[in-house]
Amino acid sequence: MTDSADKSAAAMPALPGRWERFRDSYLLYSFKRDVIAQLSLLTFIALVAIAVFAPWVSPMNPYDLAQIDIMASELPPFWIDGSDPTYWLGTDAQGRDMLSTILYGARVSLIIGFGAVALQAIIGVSFGLMAGYLGGRVDAFLMRLADIQLSFSTLMVAIIVGALVKAIFGGATFNAYAVPLLVVIIGLAEWPQYARTVRASVLAERGKEYVDAARVMGLRSKRIMFRHVLPNTLSPIFVISTVQIANAIIAEAALSFLGLGMPETHPSLGSLIKAGFDYIQSGSWWITLIPGAVLVVLVLSINLLGDWLRDVMNPRLYKG
Amino acid sequence: MTAQAHRTGSAEALLEIRQLEKRFSLSGDFLDQLRFKGGKLVRKQEYVHAINGVSLDINRGEALCVVGESGCGKSTVARTVMGLLSPSAGEVHYDGTRIDNLGSRQLLPFRKRMQMIFQNPYASLNPRMTIQQTLEEPLRLHHPDWNRQQVVDQVEQVMTSVGIDPDWGKRFGHEFSGGQRQRIAIARALAVDPEFIVADEPISALDVSIQAQVLNLLMDAQRERNLTYLFITHDLAVVEHFGTRVAVMYLGTVCEIADTATLFAKPRHPYTQALLSAIPRLDDDGPQHIRLTGEVPTPVNLPSGCVFHGRCPYANARCRQEVPALQTQDDGVRVACHAVEEGRL
């Protein structure tokens, strides 16, 4: 073989390592130039960190009845007259320290948000892969299933599941298993988002020749789906994951606000807002507004990160 | 290299395609097919007739080139042979075994013996896999008993044989040029040491300067490994260079099969004559092209009789009604043409 063309390729630069490749990547480059993305990542990491380490950083344990002093209820935050320096952000109607309760509440909200999205992703990605790759009747069946699922709102699924569990096992059991139940409810309600996105990308990838090459090789459908097609559909999955985490946190807050979610003894940000809502008229606005602000900041930082990620991973979509 | 023993140079057919047909539905699913017509609900189905009764034999050790213009069904033949599409009718036999109706498990031993090279080297390598992973995958599938060292050795050997530096294994496909990628795709096909390769326009997506290199690589591989090719192309110069025999296709049917030299020296079918006259020649004094009138008919509504009759200068009433069959001439050329059969041409 006489290949002058290949000779030139022999002078290819040395293979960069994983770190060098990341350092030179467009992802990092665009991150360095985007102040909003940096700020939102910083906020998000800070919130997640204090939520994860809540048991160690919070001044008191709001779940521990022995630490709660009912006489110290409805104390305002430190910048208002009549505040107690022990309770930096004031206390709620039951005398729980707001700061600690918010930290623990954010923890619950984040656990439910990530858990629900993990469940959505597992169901949605598998169904989307099967629908897109296998096509035909499997596709028709799974997509009709997705349509049916989408026609139930999250709220309706929550009401039905919540009512069923409460009727069968009693309210105490529901409260004890509220976190996994909410993960299941929000996970089940929103999987079609993943399934549809993944299916659309799979349909685009399935027509490419590397999939044909894998089939000609004799690989089984499962391996082609997970080893060949799935890695090439990851970018849209990442992008919708950010949106979905924000949505799941909001959905949990909405359900808790309506009394369908976390019990007040084990509050999430949503149930804190609900608990404080009754006292807003009596002047204790901080019980509802401070957790509300934390929720807004958390969701906003995730959404802004998601926006940035979408712009980076999909160069066809530029900011208008 | 283990299968070398039975790869004798005999002229028996390795692959037989019998009366192969492939239709693609245009009508969507059942609900889409329902139409209101004259106040009644009727079911209307439309098909693209991509191939209509193609029969081909491919002998051991030869390179059978299939030529024809875009949309004549040559790629569909290749994909049906490889089992990427299932035929609507007809049979595919490989080495005496019917393979078109086998399940994927039963097909696995045949997958090792027949491989495919694709047209677009920019799409045929998985962008998320390194070259090493791409080349190891077929070996791990077909040789589950091999240990790590055997797999690595075989990958290195096959990379060297296609002119790719084995040190590049950790790189991804997008780091290579088109010609290099096509070499990698060829290496992937050769990795399991097949005896039959379907090449679907393997050089038409490459630079002209690279085409010859890749073509030579394919010819070297054929000589060294005693390969049999089904080579799909629309490039007549490649056919002349590469093919042992040529099958000319038009609108889903084979109109002529001949040895390469015979076909280029003496084309029989009117379509082949027109096709060959379209090759630009350096010694052209004046344009000698046979100008066909009209367009290729739509494969949705096939013409009656000979599919070429609407554009054929020799067509008569019989051509418009009766489908011509391939008939063997004195010198072994097979032509599907009433005019040739009747001696009108």
pLDDT digits (tens, 9 = 90+) for A261-319: 888 778 888 888 888 887 877 777 787 888 888 889 999 999 998 888 888 876 554 44
Using an 8 Å Cβ cutoff, are B254 and B54 in contact? yes
Cβ–Cβ contact B252 with A under 8 A: no
pLDDT at A259: 80
pLDDT at B8: 38
CA distance A107 to B275: 73
pLDDT at A16: 64
**CB contacts, 8 Å: B177 with chain A:** 5, 9
Count Cα atoms within 13 angstroms, Cβ side, for B286.
0
Look at A212 and B116 and tell me if their CB atoms are within 8 Å: yes
Look at A208 and B216 and tell me if their CB atoms are within 8 Å: no
Look at A214 and B126 and tell me if their CB atoms are within 8 Å: yes
Cβ–Cβ contact B176 with A under 8 A: yes
**Helix, strand or coil, per DSSP, at residue A94:** coil
CA distance B344 to B188: 49
**CB contacts, 8 Å: A3 with chain B:** 163, 213
- What does each of the 320 residues of chain A score in pLDDT, given as a tens digit? 444 444 444 445 566 667 777 777 777 888 888 888 899 999 999 999 988 888 887 777 777 777 777 766 777 777 777 777 777 777 777 777 888 888 888 888 999 999 999 999 999 999 999 999 998 889 999 999 999 988 888 788 888 888 888 888 887 888 888 888 889 888 988 899 899 999 999 999 988 999 999 999 889 999 999 999 998 888 888 888 888 988 898 888 888 888 888 887 788 888 888 888 878 777 777 878 888 888 899 999 999 988 888 888 765 544 43
Identify which of A288, A276, A291, A265 has the alpha carbon closest to the alpha carbon of residue A63: A265
Side chain identity at residue B309, one-letter code: H
Who among B104, B168, B220 is closest to A220 (CB)? B104
**CB contacts, 8 Å: A2 with chain B:** 213
Nearest-CA distance A97 → chain B (Å): 50
pLDDT at A2: 43
Identify which of B209, B232, B204, B229 has the alpha carbon closest to the alpha carbon of residue B219: B229
Using an 8 Å Cβ cutoff, are B152 and B129 in contact? no
**CB contacts, 8 Å: B126 with chain A:** 210, 214, 228, 231-232
Look at A213 and B127 and tell me if their CB atoms are within 8 Å: no
ipTM of the complex: 0.85
CA triplet A9, A12, A13: central angle to 5 degrees? 175
**CB contacts, 8 Å: B116 with chain A:** 212-213, 216
pLDDT at B157: 93
Cβ–Cβ contact B210 with A under 8 A: yes
How many angstroms separate the first and last alpha carbons of chain B? 49
- Give the B window 27-86 contacts with A, CB below 8 Å: 29, 79, 82-84
Q: What chain B residue is nearest to A136 in terms of C-alpha separation?
A: B29
Per-residue pLDDT of A183-214, as tens digits, reads: 988 898 889 989 999 999 999 998 899 999 99
A-interface mutation test, from B29, B30, B126, most A Cβ less than 10 A away: B126
pLDDT at B155: 93
Sheet architecture: strand order including B47-59: B47-59, B13-25, B89-94, B97-98
pLDDT at A306: 87
**CB contacts, 8 Å: A6 with chain B:** 163-164, 179-180, 183
Look at B126 and A12 and tell me if their CB atoms are within 8 Å: no
**CB contacts, 8 Å: A220 with chain B:** 104
CA distance B204 to B233: 8
Residue B217: partners with Cβ closer than 8 Å, 6 or more residues away = A1, B162, B163, B183, B186
pLDDT at A200: 92
Q: What chain A residue is nearest to B124 in terms of C-alpha separation?
A: A210
A–B CB contacts, 8 A cutoff, strictly below: 89
Cβ–Cβ contact B217 with A under 8 A: yes
CA distance A242 to A247: 9
Tell the residue number behind the tokens 């949990």, with chain if given.
A252
CA triplet A303, A304, A310: central angle to 5 degrees? 85
pLDDT at B122: 86
Using an 8 Å Cβ cutoff, are A142 and A195 in contact? yes
Using an 8 Å Cβ cutoff, are B241 and B75 in contact? no
Q: Report, as ranges of residue numbers, the positions in chain B whose pLDDT lies below 50.
A: 1-10
Identify which of B126, B230, B140, B273 has the alpha carbon closest to the alpha carbon of residue B185: B126
**CB contacts, 8 Å: A13 with chain B:** none
- Torsion angle in degrees (nearest 10) through CA of A138, A144, A145, A148: 180
CA triplet B236, B241, B243: central angle to 5 degrees? 80
**CB contacts, 8 Å: A213 with chain B:** 116, 118, 124-125, 185, 188
Output DSSP code: residue B164.
-
**Helix, strand or coil, per DSSP, at residue A244:** helix
pLDDT at A3: 45
Residue A282: partners with Cβ closer than 8 Å, 6 or more residues away = none
